[in-house]
Structure 1
């Protein structure tokens, strides 16, 4: 009777018959030098780890894409918020000078409003001068420091004192910033206009 053993191929077992010189089957002849069963060597198998890397890489790409999308949305929201308020760059200096708005000769203008009633004012912060009436630029009030006023301005409309704070500038408090709709409804509607997108290209 022929003896048999198994050889492993990556978890697959194959039955192998061993031949001996005493076999009675004439068609089965012993192999010269004998026959030895052994595992056929294979290269390292990395399929599990490789799959893990693929999954990890996909996850990183998905997270990166989500972060980029979030940044874009936040940037769009910030830009939209900025467009609500009238920037200093939109102020019409020629229009102000044409209406007699010259002051000390080195004017820097900015808009702000009364937080209580939204009455709009124009300020020359180079000379700490507030223009209180958009129809009469000779009507002016002086303040010692527009960003940190020691002499508080009394609103000509509601008669309330404007609170301390940053009235103008890049860090102006939101309560003092003037929106385009507020400007349009005020006596200062002529003093600024939105920038033309074609001019920024």
Structure 2
């Protein structure tokens, strides 16, 4: 009987040690999980701050773009610096193209900072490109967009090209129903 009690005590000791080790492992895993959760929360905050900074940078760039275009549109000598169009244009047409560029860039920036979904961007662009001068500008700058392969801007430019093709081929005067806006971001 003495052997049974020693064996039982050893078993209980081994079991207690085993349970203690398991409890220790669980405590370590829980502490590690809390640390990982804290790190994840910190990373999310940093990503959010980076997103805010990126939007602020885009807004600043948009402001600078507009200021430069405004100066060029106000001064024919500066307008000549921006003669980047595929066909020769008059000073008046160049100024109109620069304003069309400003409108398009504004719409694109509005999308990039998250104020418009791609679907909303498409619908606004569909309305904007009803203007023949905006379309002329688009066609006159096609060669510039050709170098943007693989970028978001190239993808959006292709979307506009397809939209304009659909608008040109449409059998309806109801331009607002032409084309299929993208439904995913």
TM category, shorter: 0.3 to 0.5
Structure number with the higher strand fraction is: 1
Structure with larger Rg: 1
Structure number with the higher helix fraction is: 2
Higher relative CO (Cα under 8 Å, sequence separation at least 6) belongs to 2
| TM-score normalised per structure 2 | 0.33
